[in-house]
Homo-oligomer: A and B are copies of this chain.
Amino acid sequence: MSILFRQLTICGVGLIGGSLALTARKHRLVERIVGLGRTQSNLDIAMARGLIDFATRDAEEAAQGADLLMLATPVMTFPATLSAMVPYLSPNAVVTDVGSVKSWVVQQLEPLLKPAMSFVGVHPVAGKEVTGAAAAEEGLFVNRRVIVTPSALSSAEALEKIETLWRATGAQVEQMPPASHDAILARASHLPQIVSSALACALADEMVEGRWAAGFGAGGLRDTTRIAASSPEMWRDICLSNSEALTSALRLYREWFARFEDAVAASDERALNELFARGRRMRERTE
């Protein structure tokens, strides 16, 4: 593979941005990588691990000369970050992101670009509950889905380069419209997060005769609440920026949960059998 970009600037050198940097460097797909961050300690780790060539906490300095800008911070920060950086980017820069919602991002960011710039929205479906440059690893995206969501300002050339970059990670790259992405991920990712966080909330302070009920949970409770440990800020932003699709997904869940409630209240043996069996079939299909 040949060089795709002269300078990649990553805003937020964390798990996703840092892991992508490792691949870009290994395959020499970019000449130089600049990291923009809020905290010096994370940037120091990124430098020490060789994820980036240059670290700065100054948006203007980070933007200088970049022909690829990758936004990898919580999505609600994207508009302000891009506004601050766009005057200093290379005139025909490609702007991309790795956010978990896409329609909102496209709507917010495309109006900020200069005429010769392109935008390509990307969502690598490879979250973990760990964060930061220390967690970055080269194999993170192998066989994972990376969804590219072409929009009005996605030039054919920019799309091609961004897909080449992501394919180099070993991911399965596929395209779909931003709205389809958001409807799918509301169900497959954002809904499970709220289901898990709501369970953790319900049990957080729940005492039964002086005993903390959650202390009696075994593997089932542990697995079901594992992702409740994820970053509140990240999930707040996803909820705010994908509220419409997420509202439908929450309604869908509430309806199924209500069927369980009704079956338990009525001691409906047949309905309980069917519900638990349906749940098991879904699991068998994912394995």
Q: Interface on A for B, CB 8 Å cutoff?
A: 125-128, 144-145, 147, 176, 180, 183-185, 187-189, 191-204, 206, 208-209, 211-233, 235-236, 239-240, 243, 246-247, 250-257, 259-261, 263-265, 267, 269, 272-273, 275-286
A187 touches B204 (CB 8 A): no
A239 to chain B minimum Cβ distance, whole angstroms, is 5
- A sample of 7 inter-chain contacts (CB < 8 A) reads A183-B213, A189-B216, A196-B220, A196-B224, A235-B272, A250-B260, A250-B261
A256 touches B187 (CB 8 A): no
Chain B residues contacting A191 (CB-CB under 8 Å) are 199, 202-203
Chain B residues contacting A235 (CB-CB under 8 Å) are 272, 276
A98 to chain B minimum Cβ distance, whole angstroms, is 14
A199 touches B192 (CB 8 A): yes
- Bound complex: CA A209 to CA B265 (Å): 36
Q: How many identical subunits does the complex contain?
A: 2
B128 touches A199 (CB 8 A): no
A215 to chain B minimum Cβ distance, whole angstroms, is 7
- Bound complex: CA A112 to CA B276 (Å): 31
A261 touches B247 (CB 8 A): yes
B284 touches A229 (CB 8 A): yes
B188 touches A217 (CB 8 A): yes
- Bound complex: CA A20 to CA B193 (Å): 37
Residue of A125, A211, A252, A286 with most partner-chain B CB within 10 A? A286
Partner among B217, B236, B260, B280 whose Cβ is within 8 Å of the Cβ of A272 = B236
Chain B residues contacting A252 (CB-CB under 8 Å) are 202, 206
- In order of increasing CB-CB distance, the 8 nearest A-B pairs are A232-B276, A197-B279, A200-B279, A204-B282, A228-B279, A188-B217, A187-B213, A200-B282
A218 touches B125 (CB 8 A): yes
A102 to chain B minimum Cβ distance, whole angstroms, is 13
Asked if A194 meets B230 with Cβ closer than 8 Å, knowing A127-B219, A206-B187, the reply is no
A199 touches B284 (CB 8 A): no
A214 touches B144 (CB 8 A): no
Chain B residues contacting A188 (CB-CB under 8 Å) are 203, 213-218, 221
- Bound complex: CA A257 to CA B202 (Å): 9
- Bound complex: CA A281 to CA B246 (Å): 24
Q: Which residue of B lies closest to A147 (CB)?
A: B216
Residue of A201, A204, A254, A259 with most partner-chain B CB within 10 A? A201
B236 touches A269 (CB 8 A): yes
